[in-house]
Amino acid sequence: MKNESFSSEQKRRTAPIRRADLRVLFAIRKGVNSVTMVSKEIGRGKPTVSERLQKLVKQELVKKKDSLYYLTTSGQMACSALARLLPNEKIYFRLHKYTFSAPFLKKSPELEERLAVGKRFSENYNFDKAQFHTKKDSVTVQFYSNSINFVLPPVYSPDLIVAEAGVARLSNIVIDLVEEAFPGTKVGTSEVSSHVDDNHIAVVNHPMTREFEEFRKKFDETYCFKGDRLEVDFSEGAPEMEFTDRLHAKEDCYKVAKFCNWVVKGNNLEKIMKLVES
pLDDT at 142: 94
If asked whether residues 119 and 166 sit together in one domain, one would say yes
Question: Which has the closest alpha carbon to 226: 214, 213, 242?
Answer: 242
Query: What is residue 68's three-state secondary structure?
Result: strand
Domain final residue, candidates 192, 227, 262: 192
Instruction: Go through the chain and tell me how many residues it has.
Output: 278
The stretches of 120-266 forming alpha helices (DSSP H) are 129-132, 160-181, 213-219, 249-263
Query: Parallel, antiparallel, or unpaired: how do β-strands 92-96 and 155-157 relate?
Result: antiparallel
DSSP per-residue letters across 111-131: HHHHHHHHS-EEEEEE--HHH
pLDDT given for residue 113 in this prediction: 93
- Amino acid 110: pLDDT: 95
- Domain assignment present for residue 257? The answer is no
Domain annotation covers residue 48: yes
Q: Provide the CATH number for the domain around residue 54.
A: 1.10.10.10
- 69 shares its domain with 108: no
> Which of 201, 110, 191, 97 lies closest to 148 in space, CA to CA?
191
**Within a domain: residue 232?**
no
* In-domain check, residue 252: no
How many domains does the chain fold into?
2
Does residue 39 lie in a domain region? yes
pLDDT at 6: 34
199 found inside a domain: no
Whether the CA torsion 95, 101, 107, 109 is positive or negative: it is: positive
Predicted local confidence at residue 77, as pLDDT: 66
Q: Are 66 and 107 contained in the same domain? A: no
Nearest of 151, 139, 140, 148 to residue 114 by alpha carbon:
148
Domain shared by 112 and 143, yes or no: yes
Among 148, 176, 192, which residue terminates a domain? Answer: 192
Tell me, yes or no, whether 120 and 185 share the same domain: yes
134 within domain boundaries: yes
Residue 136 included in any domain: yes
Flag residues of the chain having pLDDT under 50. Answer: 1-15, 81-88, 193-197
Structural domain including 46 reads 8-78
CB-side exposure of 18: number of CA atoms within 13 Å?
7
Maximum Cα interatomic distance, the chain, rounded to a whole number of Å: 83
Are residues 117 and 178 both part of a single domain?
yes
For 18, residues 6+ apart whose C-beta sits below 8 A from its C-beta are: none
Residue type, 76: Q
**pLDDT, position 116:** 92
Among 192, 213, 240, which residue terminates a domain? 192
Q: Are residues 132 and 182 in the same domain?
A: yes
The predicted pLDDT at position 9 comes to 40
